[in-house]
A = this chain, B = another copy of it.
């Protein structure tokens, strides 16, 4: 589209409308897909809630499972450390 050394081009002649539209439409299609998936995720949590599960706890477990064992241990150690510091600050 533009000569990469002349990014300050402002003339419409230098912008390839068809190519531009193709990039935009590709991004828009993926945004739509992402929105559909986000809605499917909401549906799953709604279904789980309907079955009596606590959604916050489910999400906390999913977050934990995304960490590898070393990361999880580190996260737990830091959390304990901070909680101990907070509890000392309160007394």
Contact = CB atoms under 8 A, between A and B. Distances in A.
**A interface, how many residues as a size bin?**
20 to 34
A34 B38 CA distance: 8
Q: List the number of copies, as a whole number.
A: 2
A52 interface: yes
A88 interface: no
A2 B33 CA distance: 34
Given A19-B51, A51-B19, A53-B23, A31 B1 contact: no
B53 A1 contact: yes
B27 A33 contact: no
A58 B15 CA distance: 12
Interface in A61-83: 61-62, 65-66
